[in-house]
Chains A and B, each alone.
Chain A
Amino acid sequence: MRILAVDDDSVSRSVLRATITSLGHDCMLATDGVAAWEMLRSGGFHAVITDRMMPGMDGLELCRRIRAERSGYVYVILSSSLAEREHVREGMLAGADDYLSKPLRRHELDLRLIAAERVSALHRQLEHVTAELRTLSRRDPLTGLGNRLAMQEELETMARRAERYGHEYTVALLDLDNFKGLNDNHGHQAGDRALRAVARLLAESCRRSDTCYRYGGEEFLCVFPEQSAAGAGVAVARVQQELADLAIANEASTHHGLLTLSAGIAPSHREPGIDDLLRRADRALYQAKAQGRNRIELPVVGMGISAA
């Protein structure tokens, strides 16, 4: 383990360093709580052994700060010659995991570091699994794109930026035309392959700052930060063309028997309401469908682009 030992007394620091090193761990030293906090902020420590009474920031304050402000778990052992019961309890309530009486005994520290190593490993495992779950819970397993939850979070962020800083953005709601026919004629596995192909096109065609999500079923939503409706229309038209190049057979399509997509576009226009924005995109998509599919409908009436 990488351990930070904090003590204002130089003898205690030397003993700690020699003991920790003799137990096979890496040891860094800090002379008070403020210096320790600065070192901890750079990360990389599994455990902290801190004296309780120190000038400036004492061990209790350091414990509280570690628990309140650090995201990754650091195992904390509070050491002090004040080993009376109330001090032990005070230290544990402040956030310490264990308590060590001074003068330090190698055997006692060894036992405590065995527990520290085990608990630290569990916390690292928990952090890893939590991060994994967070990622998985925001990803559509079929296409690998973000799902509705991820989309909602990004739209809320965009809406806040639009409201506060006037950063506008545009969304495009895309729907694969006559997709049910493709599923019926070629089976759901073919449908899944088509969804994955379109997701790949979206991921490859959009700018790095743009994000695309699987909105549900055969619908996708693309978010274009700092992009006009016309600019977003060009990006979606490119995807339409690339989809046409893939020539995915769909006998239910009226466009050369190939899979196509329609899109409705809506710009934010400093409009903070996400529901309203999605409603406008949905309305535009409906118009694109009503006007023959394989179209991109922009918000201004009569500005629809047909890819046919």
Chain B
Amino acid sequence: MDPTVLDALIAELGDSGTELRAELIADYLSSAKSGMSALASAAATGDGQGVAFAAHSMRSGSATMGAVRLAGLLEFAERRARAGAADLLALSGPAVAEYQRVSTELNVPRPASESSVGGWR
């Protein structure tokens, strides 16, 4: 996770921070949870289009939150799935695992001193 990405966005918007940050994190965790389920089940059923679509739909949100590694894994999964890769579980697995890490980190309250515009929650 790169917390400076979300910090920069919040600062850019001139928001006091706490409210928008909390809203974005809640939005992200809610949509990514269902997105990851869709990704995992599409991979399990061999649905390449489904993998590509689910990966795509979570990619920019992950990048916005500063989940840089997850965004990279999703981009890779999307690209490979579009190209017709057969190893869909090998594409979705790392992304699902990385999301677990990201969601845990986003759920942990962040000390105010770590950010110039407020904590995670």
A133 within 8 A of B: no
A-B contact count (CB 8 A): 60
Let me know if A11 and B65 touch, CB within 8 A: yes
Stretch at the interface among A13-21, A159-167, A183-191, A265-273: A13-21
**A123 in contact (CB, < 8 A):** no
Determine the distance from Cα of A244 to Cα of B12 in the docked complex, in whole angstroms: 77
Q: How far is the CA of A15 from the CA of B56 in the complex (A)?
A: 17
A9–B57 CB distance below 8 A: yes
Q: Please tell me if the beta carbons of B12 and A81 are within 8 angstroms of each other in the complex.
A: no
Contact A103 B60, beta carbon cutoff 8 Å: yes
Residue B14 at the chain A interface, CB threshold 8 Å: yes
Q: Is A53 an interface residue (CB 8 A)?
A: yes
Decide if B107 is an interface residue (CB 8 Å cutoff): no
In the complex, are the beta carbons of B14 and A11 less than 8 A apart?
A: no
Which residues of B55-106 are within 8 A (CB) of A?
A: 56-61, 63-65, 75
Q: Is the CB of B13 within 8 A of A9?
A: no
Known A14-B24, A18-B13; judge A9-B53 contact (CB<8 A). no
Contact of A18 among B15, B56, B63, B75 (CB under 8 A): B15
Task: Please pick, from B13, B63, B64, the residue contacting A106 in the complex, using a CB distance under 8 A.
Answer: B13
How large, as a class, is the contact surface on chain A?
A: 20 to 34
**Closest A residue by C-beta to B31:** A10
CB of A22 closer than 8 Å to a CB of B: yes
B2 at the interface (CB under 8 A from A): no
Q: Do A11 and B27 touch across chains, with their CB atoms under 8 A apart?
A: yes
Which of chain A's residues has its CB closest to B10's CB? A18
Chain B residues with CB below 8 A from A102, complex form = 60, 63-64
Residue of B nearest to A18 (CB): B13
Q: A18-B15, A19-B13, A22-B13 are in contact. Are A11 and B61 (CB under 8 A)?
A: yes
Q: Does chain B have a CB within 8 A of A8?
A: yes
The interface residues of chain B lying within 8 Å CB-to-CB of A227 are none
17 additional A-B residue pairs with CB within 8 Å, beyond A10-B61, A14-B23, A19-B13: A11-B24, A11-B27, A11-B31, A12-B64, A13-B27, A14-B24, A18-B13, A18-B15, A18-B20, A22-B15, A53-B57, A55-B53, A103-B60, A103-B63, A103-B64, A106-B9, A106-B12
Question: Can you list the 7 inter-chain pairs with the closest CB atoms, starting with the nearest?
Answer: A11-B61, A102-B60, A10-B27, A103-B64, A106-B12, A103-B63, A81-B60
* Residues in A lying within 8 Å of B, measured CB to CB: 8-15, 18-19, 22, 53, 55, 81-82, 102-107
**Contacts A/B (CB < 8 Å), 9 sampled:** A10-B31, A11-B24, A11-B28, A13-B27, A14-B23, A53-B56, A53-B57, A81-B59, A107-B12
